[in-house]
Structure 1
Amino acid sequence: MAAAIGLLRPRRGRLAAAVALGVLSLGSALALAVVAAWLIARAWERPPILDLTVAVVAVRALGISRGVLGYCERLATHDTALRAAGNARSLLYRRLAAAPADTAMRWHGGELVSRLGGSVDELADVIVRALIPIAVAVVLSSAAVIALAFASVAAAVVLAVSLVVAGILAPWLAARAADHAETLAVGHHAGRDTAGMLALDHGPELRVAGRLDTMIAESTRQHRNWGHASDRAARPAAVAAAVPTLAVGAAALGAALVATTLAATAAPTTVAILMLLPLSAFEATSALPAAAVHLVRARIAARRLADLTAPVDGRPRPRLTQIDLCEGDRLAVLGPSGSGKTTLLTTIAEAHQEPLTAGYFAEDAHLFDTTVRDNLLVARGDATDAELTAALDTVGLRPWLDALPDGLSTVLDGGAAAVSAGQRRRLLLARALVSNFPIVLLDEPTEHLDAVDADRILVRLLTPGMLFGADRTVVVATHHLPDGLPCRVVTAAEFNAEFNSDRGEYADQT
């Protein structure tokens, strides 16, 4: 709960108002039970009708106020939760932006969506489904026991014990039942989202490789496994759900026994209140088992969100003593996929983030569902149409641009889905050409291009004064290089050796 409140930062005033409205709403139900019990018993005695008028009006007023106050409580609670979820997402975005580049880069897009979406929602639900119901139950249970004690201390003791069973034991059992299965389910959930995002983001490439059906089947399998894990969680939780019912029965039976012993001496109205008040007192505790389950989910979500911005392996980034960059340098980083080329580029970008002198252009950078012009202006907002057209011409997209119905104003419906893989790569390269960063970091800029075009572009990228001015530094991560290029070359293996050396030194120090 503390971790959730620290991340969500709900407004205390709104939170207190939601709790107050919840107490008044269920308090109206509790008062309605007391007044209705008195009215039924007193009416049986056939008094003058004027003796019952106030009670009749009170029953109507309490019945109406319960619905109205309950609606207001829902409005206040959801307003508080939605604002808190917005606070949490803003805070997480700021933490990711301020963290080292590889803090976010280590997560797949599907995992980021799952954590920033589903996990934040699970955390915000703790306000609606746990925090406020717990506070309301504590207040109303205490009020019910105190009110019943004025009629019978013995009945109040029985009610208090039953409320402890329904409000503490049952939620504890439900939380224990859900904990293990929820931990497993969240893993299946993340796996399902990751597989689904891979199928959506790389559908054409997966279809060509013959793996699209396999990826969709994997997403379906993960979703099915998640359903099975949820079913397993529900079985022991059903046992926990039966405990409050048993507690209600025990309280009602205890109240009946006490009322029987008092029937000879107590007023009929008192006996009626002793019988009906305990039944209404459990309405507030009925939501507590579900609240305990939501607390478990919130704890898991808080842990996943903390991992999102945690330092990579808790160790410092490697020193770049062997690949220091000078003005006008051309550096090629060679290595196969997964060898650490992207990590090296993000390390260089982080080293030059203060001041912001390096622009990192990722292999899978996003194309927005907007115009061609706006997709290029994200690199430099003051670029002219002539500069944008020249950049597209340089990367070989001028025929494509001329064929568009509205030129630079043509909307790319669906973003990357509106272009081929090769056109997307050229658009991202044009975005880099439009930028004015002194240091340009390009991750696989020629992927999905034919060999001839790829070699031609690599030569122009790594030759000073061709695509980029001789005073700008260009670092390119690639699988291969044409022969005879006048540039420095570092392999990903060399970088990994330095990284592992730094990691060993850090482990020795700690």
Structure 2
Amino acid sequence: MFRRDPLFRALVLLRPRLPRLALAVVCGVLSLGSALALAGVAAWLITRAWQMPPILDLSVAVVAVRAFGISRGVLQYCERLASHDTALRAAGSAREQIYRRLAHGRPELTARLHEGELVSRVGHDVDELSDALVRAVLPIAVAVILSVAAVGVIAVISWPAAAILAACLVLAGVVAPWLSARGAAAQEQLARLHHAERDVAAMTALDHGPELKVSGRLPAVIAESEHHQRNWGDALDEAARPAAFGAAMPTAAIGASVLGAVVVGIGIASSVAPTTLAILMLLPLSSFEATTALPAAAVQLTRSRIAARRLFDLVDDEPDVAPAHSAAPTDLVVRARAVAGHPTAARTVPVDLELPLGARLAITGPSGCGKSTVLMTLAGLIPALDGAVTLGGYPLTQLAEAELRSKITYFAEDAHLFATTVRDNLLVVRGDCTDDELEAVLTRVGLRHWRDGLPDGLDTILVGGAAAVSAGQRRRLLLARVLLSRSPVLLLDEPTEHLDAAASDALLRDLLAPGGGLFGPDRTVVLATHHLPADLTEQVPVLRLHHRAVSASAGTLAGGRPHAT
């Protein structure tokens, strides 16, 4: 049962440094232990000074008060350093594991999500998960150790007072956090929903701002994001109300504990020293300092558990493992007898085609008709709803991930440009390229003059990523990545979008030229486009899709002969 808890499973993602976490716990215990010792020594010192003994009798206590006062701050700083270092390293480890599993896991887990939702999960949810170490695990461990120590010290003086203190500590350290967690869990899911919707609207405005502004929809999208932001804030406020009762309960427990100590102290006043009575009265005040953070810790555990569930909805619970009988096809013929589509979508696209090595195929149709879905199905990124796609006679599901990606590569229409150098943006597809190769592909895609105008050449940083270039330049940079790829089967989604008609037609002819062009006759090219020059429709096969649940399909393409349906 415990192993099914999302937080326990998330340890594989976080990989916390246990020695460093243990150091943080030790520093936290010593820091709050110094506060506890400071209260006890100060109570003894005040009471003993009232008795006006020789000053030398107080010198050790005076030094101890100074030592505990200084050490508390120093140790608390050390605890912050150790705990935050642990949490930041754990967050980095979790993101690394998530990125790795996204790259090698089941694509259908992410294909159905908007980019804003992905950003929310990989960003905010990972932060919530790593915060559990600092804001939950550490406070709980420190509170347990100090509570036991405080009850033990009071038990030496009076068992009834120790029992009262233990009951109040249970109230402040167990019941109050439970109430806080129970109240927060009821509303946290709703708050997360508004958070994700806000991120989706914000990412839409950021990614498609110019197009939305031209169409007049940008103010509405921004207003929608602001609306979700307000709803998110209201939902979080609603989640905080029950937690407020849990946060107030430790204060009531402190009062009850002190009152109990006073009552017990009055009863034993005649049999113990005044200094002992002072310790009995003041020590409970400091013993609750560790438990005041526990309601917030319980709320953090709830949020972290929800974040862990969302992350495991995004990635496989275990890293992707290659099939036991993974194949390495030598025949690179792509055959599809399948129905392409998303599991939750009403529109499906039957696909019946055969692509020998070196074939060319253009997929055309209006937006939303399923062009990208067909490409992603051919690439093995989305499983076919029915039938199968094979490479060299092997179903794509039987191929190891590395083997499949080395043979078939899908280049998305909205592939990301990173806020780094031009060189690094090209090397993401193949890291062993030389500068001469990079210069050559920039020339082949028509970016030679643009590259010559860059202040630092290939070392020029694209500040803001895609925002640093025009839409046409971005499209040509993405196409340069395609040219650098060594995959024999290339699937291109809208490679000429945002180019003027003349440049788009010329580039499409180079991409689809059967005997050469940008790609040699030993490479298969399948591309999706809204527009295809009239002369190309007579030279290359065309798969035309329409806004219908059942679409026309392409027949067998043998030897690259034109065939269109």
TM-score above 0.5, yes or no = yes
Give distance in 2, aligned partners of 1:383 and 1:57: 67
- Give the match for residue 333 of structure 1: 363
Say yes or no: does 1:346 pair with 2:376: yes
- Give the match for residue 359 of structure 1: 409
Which 10-residue stretch deviates more, 449-458 or 327-336? 449-458
**Which runs of structure 2 are paired with 1:482-497 in the superposition (5 Å)?**
482-483=533-534, 484-487=538-541, 489=543, 491=545
Give distance in 2, aligned partners of 1:31 and 1:252: 17
Give distance in 2, aligned partners of 1:216 and 1:179: 30
Which 10-residue stretch deviates more, 402-411 or 90-99? 402-411
Q: Secondary structure at the match of 1:359?
A: strand
Give distance in 2, aligned partners of 1:352 and 1:13: 36
Which 10-residue stretch deviates more, 164-173 or 52-61? 52-61
Match of 1:292 among 284, 288, 298: 298
Q: Secondary structure at the match of 2:213?
A: helix
Say yes or no: does 1:85 pair with 2:91: yes
**Any conservation in 1 of the 2:14–2:90 contact (CA below 8 Å)?**
yes
- Give the match for residue 12 of structure 1: 18
Q: Pick closer, same or farther for the CA change 1:280–1:492 going to 2, 3 Å.
A: farther
Match of 1:441 among 491, 494, 498: 491
Give distance in 2, aligned partners of 1:47 and 1:404: 82
**Which runs of structure 2 are paired with 1:107-506 in the superposition (5 Å)?**
107-310=113-316, 322-350=352-380, 353-354=403-404, 356-372=406-422, 374-380=424-430, 391-392=441-442, 394-397=444-447, 400=450, 411-464=461-514, 465-483=516-534, 484-487=538-541, 489=543, 491=545
Richer in helix (by share): 1
The one-letter code of the counterpart of 1:152 is S
The one-letter code of the counterpart of 1:200 is L
Q: Secondary structure at the match of 1:440?
A: strand
Q: Pick closer, same or farther for the CA change 1:80–1:404 going to 2, 3 Å.
A: closer
- Give the match for residue 504 of structure 1: none
Give distance in 2, aligned partners of 1:16 and 1:408: 46
**Any conservation in 2 of the 1:102–1:347 contact (CA below 8 Å)?**
no
CA apart distance, 1:308: 1.3
CA apart distance, 1:309: 1.2
The one-letter code of the counterpart of 2:197 is G
CA apart distance, 1:253: 0.7
**Any conservation in 2 of the 1:193–1:219 contact (CA below 8 Å)?**
yes
More relative contact order in 1 or in 2 (CA 8 Å, sep 6+)?
Answer: 1
Give distance in 2, aligned partners of 1:267 and 1:373: 78
Q: Pick closer, same or farther for the CA change 1:384–1:68 going to 2, 3 Å.
A: closer
CA apart distance, 1:296: 1.1
Q: Pick closer, same or farther for the CA change 1:270–1:358 going to 2, 3 Å.
A: same
Q: Pick closer, same or farther for the CA change 1:236–1:410 going to 2, 3 Å.
A: closer
Give distance in 1, aligned partners of 2:307 and 2:512: 45
Alignment deviations for residues 241-272 of structure 1 (CA, whole Å, 9 cap, x no partner): 21111111111111111111111222212211
Give distance in 2, aligned partners of 1:86 and 1:336: 41
CA apart distance, 1:43: 2.2
Give distance in 1, aligned partners of 2:148 and 2:443: 76
Alignment deviations for residues 255-290 of structure 1 (CA, whole Å, 9 cap, x no partner): 111111111222212211111111111011000011
Give distance in 1, aligned partners of 2:54 and 2:550: 94
The answer for unaligned runs of 5 or more in structure 2 is 1-6, 318-341, 381-400, 553-565
Give distance in 2, aligned partners of 1:166 and 1:200: 46
**Any conservation in 1 of the 2:243–2:299 contact (CA below 8 Å)?**
no
Give distance in 2, aligned partners of 1:206 and 1:390: 35
Q: Once the two structures are aligned, what percentage of the paired residues are identical?
A: 63
**Any conservation in 2 of the 1:334–1:489 contact (CA below 8 Å)?**
yes
Q: Pick closer, same or farther for the CA change 1:63–1:401 going to 2, 3 Å.
A: closer
**Any conservation in 2 of the 1:101–1:349 contact (CA below 8 Å)?**
no
CA apart distance, 1:341: 2.9
CA apart distance, 1:85: 1.0
Give distance in 1, aligned partners of 2:184 and 2:459: 53
Which 10-residue stretch deviates more, 330-339 or 305-314? 305-314
Alignment deviations for residues 354-412 of structure 1 (CA, whole Å, 9 cap, x no partner): 36122321101122344545544544556566765664555454565566666666554
Q: Pick closer, same or farther for the CA change 1:490–1:102 going to 2, 3 Å.
A: farther
**Cα-Cα RMSD:** 3.0
Q: Pick closer, same or farther for the CA change 1:222–1:355 going to 2, 3 Å.
A: closer
**Any conservation in 1 of the 2:109–2:313 contact (CA below 8 Å)?**
no
**Any conservation in 1 of the 2:363–2:543 contact (CA below 8 Å)?**
yes
Give distance in 2, aligned partners of 1:454 and 1:193: 33
Give distance in 2, aligned partners of 1:22 and 1:307: 35
Q: Pick closer, same or farther for the CA change 1:240–1:387 going to 2, 3 Å.
A: closer
The one-letter code of the counterpart of 2:249 is V
Give distance in 2, aligned partners of 1:495 and 1:408: 46
**Any conservation in 1 of the 2:365–2:544 contact (CA below 8 Å)?**
no
Q: Pick closer, same or farther for the CA change 1:244–1:433 going to 2, 3 Å.
A: same
Q: Secondary structure at the match of 1:195?
A: helix
Which 10-residue stretch deviates more, 223-232 or 474-483? 474-483
Q: Pick closer, same or farther for the CA change 1:310–1:479 going to 2, 3 Å.
A: farther
**Any conservation in 2 of the 1:144–1:281 contact (CA below 8 Å)?**
yes
Give distance in 1, aligned partners of 2:24 and 2:435: 53
- Give the match for residue 79 of structure 2: 73
**Any conservation in 1 of the 2:36–2:286 contact (CA below 8 Å)?**
yes
Match of 1:21 among 20, 27, 45: 27
Q: Pick closer, same or farther for the CA change 1:60–1:398 going to 2, 3 Å.
A: closer
CA apart distance, 1:206: 1.5
Give distance in 2, aligned partners of 1:35 and 1:405: 68
**Any conservation in 1 of the 2:356–2:524 contact (CA below 8 Å)?**
yes
- Give the match for residue 49 of structure 1: 55
